[in-house]
Structure 1
Amino acid sequence: MTYWDPIPTVRACVVGEPLPGHALWVPAYRPPWGPWPDAWAERDWRNVPGPFYGAGTDTCWMGREVAPAHVLYNDDLGDEFVYRQPCDAEETYRVIAAAFQDPMVGYQCDGDVRWTPELVREWWSERGRVREWARDLDRKWSISTRADEREAAGGARAYVAHIDGDLADYLRGYLFRLGEGRPARPGEALPVL
């Protein structure tokens, strides 16, 4: 998995252009993220680097209903965060749909102007903390009597698999995007983490 730029799809969704073949359709009555200036400082530390992140979302556990491959809940307050950035139009649409479910307007889409190469590398160097948290969450929720916690445990397992699998390649592509202002073309050298 390498970096794929979701912003053109975001723009199309926000202005109400339907994406072909999607059962979910979100009306373009407002952007699904808020312009609150302190959102970056309030973001959940478990968010994976990229354009989307959760900061002060609701605790209603709706995000996984539409974006289970991207959204997970923390076990502190139940806030939502983005554990996997979208890699195509449908995945982007699902993350946007999760953002529209949030009455607190806590999802943000300004990560490209917030993340720096240094911050991405710092997050990656501390990934063990996130991985350990996700493993502990899986252990706790996979044996829960609550069906929603057992379902979310699958997200925790997917997060660990993402960290152990293709996340490094994605982040190297994201570093290129941050440095060059565009996704890498096939064959271009990617920065090191």
Structure 2
Amino acid sequence: MITYWNPLPTARRLVDTDDRDPFTGKWAERKPRNVPGPFYSASTDSLQTGRLDAPDHIAYDDDLGGGFGWEFVYRQPVNAAGTEAVVNAARLELYSGYACDGDDHWTVEAVRDWWRERGEIRAWAVDLAVQWEANAHPKYRGHYHDAAHGLREFIAFIDDGLDRYLRGYMFWLAEGCSPEAGRLTPDL
């Protein structure tokens, strides 16, 4: 069954008492590897702390060249625990480069466009995971192996599960609610 769970009420409750808003990222700076959904990373620092709190949701890219670049959301949270993990990752991010206003920007057609590009994203993730596993400096081997593991999890999600999530999310975008049993969801 395809459903969608809205994580934003939980996220708002969690950050309501924070001294600093962890979600000040800008859509115009969004990293294209972020999976469609309410959460995304934009201009984050390059310390790669997101997987410490949200390994099931955050991965790293190589956009800084040679090593690690920025964090990105490879799996949107689908329950309160996952939402708390993403919020905590955003709280750790030095530049507050995460955002939670993706629903204001994504459209059904934009999600379809992202899905059409998944092959390129998947190929990039496969190549980078292999590179990080093979070329990790012994001093940083644990970090590189964890980063490669995050990319392999992203690849597995692209292969099995992401399509169902995106169909539920597209229904949410179009209808403003989760699809009930028996309701047709949009095709990718």
Q: Do the structures match in fold with TM over 0.5? A: yes
Q: Encode CA deviations 1:76-106: one digit per residue, 9 max, x unaligned.
A: 2211110000010000000000000111111
Partner of residue 131 from structure 1, selected from 109, 122, 132: 122
Report the CA distance between 1:137 and its aligned residue.
1.2
Partner of residue 117 from structure 1, selected from 81, 99, 108: 108
Considering only aligned residues, what root-mean-square deviation do their CA atoms show, in Å?
Answer: 1.2
Report the CA distance between 1:156 and its aligned residue.
0.6
Q: Does structure 1 conserve the Cα–Cα contact (< 8 Å) formed by 2:54 and 2:89?
A: yes
- Verify: 1:30 aligned to 2:17, yes or no: no
Report the CA distance between 1:30 and its aligned residue.
2.7
- Partners of 1:2 and 1:184 in 2: how far apart? 6
Partner of residue 54 from structure 2, selected from 48, 67, 71: 67
Q: Encode CA deviations 1:9-45: one digit per residue, 9 max, x unaligned.
A: 11211224xxxxxxxxxxx2232111x6xx2121111
Partner of residue 104 from structure 1, selected from 95, 120, 138: 95
Which runs of 4 or more aligned residues in structure 1 lie more than 2 Å from their structure 2 counterparts after TM superposition?
A: none
**Equivalent residue for 1:21?**
none
- Partners of 1:191 and 1:72 in 2: how far apart? 27
- Partners of 1:178 and 1:31 in 2: how far apart? 25
Partner of residue 74 from structure 2, selected from 62, 83, 86: 83
Q: What amino acid does structure 1 have at the position aligned with 2:93? A: D
- What SS class does the counterpart of residue 61 from structure 1 fall into? coil
- What SS class does the counterpart of residue 142 from structure 1 fall into? helix
Q: What amino acid does structure 1 have at the position aligned with 2:38? A: P
Report the CA distance between 1:118 and its aligned residue.
0.9
- What SS class does the counterpart of residue 81 from structure 1 fall into? strand
* Identity rate, percent: 50
Q: Does structure 1 conserve the Cα–Cα contact (< 8 Å) formed by 2:4 and 2:168?
A: yes
- Partners of 1:2 and 1:83 in 2: how far apart? 18
Q: How many positions carry a matched residue from both structures?
A: 179
> Structure 2, unaligned stretches of length 5 or more?
none
Report the CA distance between 1:187 and its aligned residue.
2.5
Q: What amino acid does structure 2 have at the position aligned with 1:29? A: D
- Verify: 1:44 aligned to 2:34, yes or no: no
Q: Encode CA deviations 1:119-161: one digit per residue, 9 max, x unaligned.
A: 1000001100110111011101122232211111000100000
Q: Does structure 1 conserve the Cα–Cα contact (< 8 Å) formed by 2:21 and 2:96?
A: no
